[in-house]
Amino acid sequence: MTHPQQFGQYPQQQQPQWGPPPQVPPQGAPAGAPPMPPQGGYPGGQPQGFPGGPPPQAPKGNGVVQKVLGLVGTVVVGIIVVVVVALLRTVDGGGIAVGECIDLTNPSTTAPEWETAPCGSPQSDFKVAKQLDGMKSCGSDYDSLTKSGDYTMCMVPDVSVGDCLTAPALDISTKVPCSDPDAAQQVTTAVNNSSGEAACREDSEQYLTWDEPPLTVCVKSV
């Protein structure tokens, strides 16, 4: 801010010099009394100028506080995004927790559809072993379902001895009644450990094992 300009002095004009008026005591003053001081005006006979220097500035905001508030805002936005994603997963049926089971209503590998089902029920085909972000690979041991590239569910069969399965050719293998023409395999062993072939019955033809969760499933042809 600039300083206010000071008033300049007018150039002096040639005016007749007047002498001081005779000291005439004011009315009512006794003769010989000292002259009265001049009334009003500026002290010392000079006008007062503007005060020097700019006016005080308002204190600036604390930069640290502003940074903290910005960080808090970012964290809050991040939390809101996470909550919204979780809600969307729940609404579209994809928010199936690890350990819950799935009824694969459309076993197509290109456009599969599914919904939750009670584990161990005839409708339940798989149990969720893992849930990964994006399109990460579950590995060759797991069947998997991906929802629009948002997340991937890694699954193991939810089967019991005597259950029949479709052939895992182009589609994902699912449970069907053993009388179903599509039934291709029957479960001979299903145990919650990874012992593999040692857990299978003699009539078993194939087996698969998983470490997470520990599981061995043995099957034979129907």
Whole-angstrom Cα distance, residue 221 to residue 184? 6
Mean pLDDT of the chain: 73
Least confident of 65-74, 119-128, 142-151, 175-184: 65-74
The pTM (predicted TM-score) of the whole model is 0.57
Higher-scoring residue by pLDDT: 154, 24: 154
Residue 131 contacts residue 105 (beta carbons within 8 Å): no
Q: Is 159 helix (H, G, I), strand (E, B) or coil?
A: coil
Question: What confidence tens digit (pLDDT) does each residue in 21-36 have?
Answer: 555 555 554 555 555 5
Whole-angstrom Cα distance, residue 128 to residue 96? 7
Q: Where in the sequence is the domain holding 84, given as residue range(s)?
A: 64-93
My answer on whether 74 and 147 are in the same domain is no
Give the pair of three-digit tokens for residue 17.
Answer: 């010099």
Q: What is the pLDDT of residue 148?
A: 75
My answer on whether 170 and 121 are in the same domain is yes
Q: What is the pLDDT of residue 45?
A: 47
75 pLDDT band, cuts 50/70/90, is: low
My answer on whether 140 and 198 are in the same domain is yes
If you average pLDDT over residues 129-147, what whole number do you get? 88
My answer on whether 127 and 178 are in the same domain is yes
Buried b (16+ CB within 10 A) or exposed e, 34-69: eeeeeeeeeeeeeeeeeeeeeeeeeeeeeeeeeeee
pLDDT at 218 over 50: yes
Residue 155 contacts residue 144 (beta carbons within 8 Å): yes
pLDDT at 50 over 50: no
Of 45, 72, 93, the position where a domain reaches its end is 93
If you average pLDDT over residues 177-188, what whole number do you get? 95
Residue 180 domain flag = yes
Question: What confidence tens digit (pLDDT) does each residue in 82-97 have?
Answer: 444 444 444 344 468 9
110 pLDDT band, cuts 50/70/90, is: confident
